[in-house]
Chain A
Amino acid sequence: MRPTAARLLNILVPVKRAVDYAVKIRVNPQQTGIDTNVKHSMNPFDEIAVEEAVRLRERLKDEIKSIKAITIGPSKSLETLRTALAMGADSAIHVEIPDSAPAPEPLAIAKTLKAVIEKEKEKGTGVDLVILGKQAIDDDLGLTGQMLAGLMGWSQATFASKVEVDVGGKEVLVVREIDGGSEEVRCRLPLIVTTDLRLNEPRYASLPNIMKAKKKPVEKLSATDLGVDLTPILETLKVTEPPKRVGGGKVESVDELVAKMKEAGITAA
């Protein structure tokens, strides 16, 4: 246990290397997945998570003891960790999986994160706050944060658009995006937060910071080290192209536009 006198926060930020958001993906001919020989970058929601952690430190200064980024992925995921370090994380953990391994599922990722959090606790740096993206833009599942909160038995605040941490009071005020509006919740630490797009505008890493990031420590771990099994439980039978939409072409005038709409049965209500 951490001494109660030291009211310092350790933040863990899980990040994922994903196909860049601007890439138009292509399904491979074998229908087993997509062509991954394309540009990858940090999942946009995770950039927001890293940014939020760094901003918390800028606001709370010394009350934030550490910001640690973590990724679970193939060797190339190290680049993603370096990006997080360049944005302002202090150190990183890379749980490396073979390049040929299938992408682990959120439940396995959550179990891995739990194992890491427990490991950190043994080292005396108990994690108080985990900030994750609300979803990865590749699998679009949006499960990991909630699953981690469930496994840890911690409080959770999903789809956060505003986070205010009271380190001394061990409480966090979060504004969450919900269907039709927003809501405010007060959560006790330790807490899992997942980020909405609205939370912040991530910074670009400056060149000096990118250089510095190369010297920051990255701990390498394996699934075996952590005693977790990353084999997917769900079987992906195939991946296919969605039905193609045939654009109907353009019209030249508003009259033609209205005619087309009326043809389709659209008139004033």
Chain B
Amino acid sequence: MGKVSWLKGSRSVGRGRGVRTESLKERDCGSLDWSDLRGPQELICYRTFSRTYATATSPHALVFLEHRQGVIDSGSLSALTAAGELGGKVSALIVGGSDHVPGVVEQAKKLKGLTTVLHSTSPQYSEPVPEILSPLLEKLLSDSSSFTHVVSATSSAAKSLLPRVAARLDVPAVSDIISLEHDAANNSTTFTRPIYAGNAIATVRAPPSVQIKFFTVRSTAFSAASVQDDAEAETQAVDPVDVPDSPSKHLKTSIAKSDRPDLGVASRVVSGGRALKDVETFATTLYPLADVLGAAVGASRAAVDAGYADNSLQVGQTGKVVAPELYMALGISGAIQHLAGMKDSKLIVAVNKASDPDAPIFQVADVGLVADLFEVVPQLIEKLKQ
């Protein structure tokens, strides 16, 4: 694509159909819609179009399959499902140290919808340092590759790594998609994704001119790829790319340990807000209820900022996005940023104090109770046990 002047740029904001067609024409004839073919000029485009069609490559997705200590991340399984919806081949890339990768490859081989499992091991890959992994991905995605899409969960590791790679390949990226549709005939992919903390849904199209389409997948919007016993994806080792003098070095990881289900994938979540007063009250109030329900514990930003709960438990626009069967919001008023992380839950139960009966949380809650949560929770535990 050549340099486009500012005038042209602003013209493409035009909302009218005619205007949009014009901007498409300037960009890429291959992205023309049949109904847009009107005059002689368009006919020229049409020829280009049919040529593209004849050589159209079928989609081939590369899924960055993450694992922690040899266990495949559930978010990556959702990313696999999303990649499958492109309608072409799906390869997974597994990287790590030699202690975990072979086991992960064995698990991955059985995953439904996977064509090929690529794996690369190096002592350098034991932690996902973007500066070290980027050259490997760049090599895999170099001109000779058949990959049309690069897919991952919207995880912290992928969010750090993939945009770096995309920029090096000079392509844009789309974050946290909730649905997709691929048009194989002209190699364009249309995504929907939440913007403004989930208060609007944008439909964006990556045109054919984007050779490799990078996107991350909101795991709550896609089911996890299942294991299929007769599936046997082909495996292929990829030579690691040595980065002798990485500008970044991983020193240590601290993972908050818990016996409860993982917040991101739990089917039930009990969440607490600022009303929980302090770290002890947070624990003594919420944990017994979470235990009775077999639920994960979450927290609002206020509770995390006040130090009642670990950062990793934050639910919201900038924390975890969850969509469990049951979301219990206790002492959470429901700021926009919090709702962004939980409003797709199936059943939302809110308990909030009498001084705030109009809290926004009650506008999304299926069941709301205006009461003192310190009185409600013990009764709730008792009655649920009955």
Contact = CB atoms under 8 A, between A and B. Distances in A.
B38 interface: no
Interface in B61-110: 68
A207 interface: no
B363 interface: yes
Given A180-B312, A245-B364, A101 B336 contact: no
B216 to A, nearest CB: 9
A229 B4 contact: yes
**For this complex, into which size category does the number of interface residues on chain B fall?**
35 or more
Contact of B204 (A30, A100, A178, A237): A237
A30 to B, nearest CB: 6
Interface stretch (B142-150, B188-196, B228-236): B188-196
B9 A101 contact: yes
A237 to B, nearest CB: 4
Contacts of A260: 349, 366-367
B9 to A, nearest CB: 4
Given A101-B9, A269-B292, A257 B380 contact: yes
B130 A156 contact: yes
A234 B172 contact: yes
A109 B312 CA distance: 30
B203 A238 contact: yes
B159 interface: yes
B172 A146 contact: no
A158 interface: yes
A8 to B, nearest CB: 20
Interface string A245-260: 1011111111111101
Nearest to A182: B254
A234 B206 contact: yes
Interface in B346-386: 347-349, 351, 362-371, 376, 379-380, 383-385
Interface stretch (A19-27, A59-67, A85-93, A210-218): A19-27
Contacts of A267: 384
Contacts of B139: none
B249 A150 contact: no
Contact of B325 (A134, A224, A231, A266): A266
Interface stretch (B51-59, B113-121, B160-168, B273-281): B160-168
B140 interface: no
Interface string B222-252: 0000000000000000000000001111111
A186 B127 CA distance: 13
Given A102-B13, A188-B247, A233 B200 contact: no
Interface stretch (A76-84, A118-126, A136-144): A136-144
A231 B172 contact: no
A1 interface: no
Interface of A: 19, 21-22, 24-25, 27, 30, 32, 34, 45, 97-98, 100-102, 105-107, 110, 134-135, 137-143, 146-151, 154-159, 161, 173, 176-188, 191, 196-198, 223-224, 229-242, 245, 247-258, 260-261, 264, 266-269
Given A242-B199, A258-B380, 8 more contacts: A141-B175, A147-B167, A178-B253, A239-B202, A245-B348, A256-B369, A264-B347, A268-B385
24 contacts: A102-B9, A106-B172, A140-B176, A140-B194, A149-B130, A156-B130, A180-B68, A180-B255, A180-B256, A181-B312, A187-B247, A229-B4, A233-B207, A237-B190, A237-B205, A239-B195, A242-B199, A248-B368, A254-B376, A254-B383, A257-B351, A257-B367, A269-B268, A269-B293
Interface of B: 1, 3-4, 6, 8-10, 12-13, 15, 24, 68, 127, 129-131, 134, 155-157, 159-168, 170-176, 190, 193-207, 209-210, 246-256, 262, 264, 268, 292-295, 301, 305, 310-312, 317-318, 325-326, 336-337, 343, 347-349, 351, 362-371, 376, 379-380, 383-385
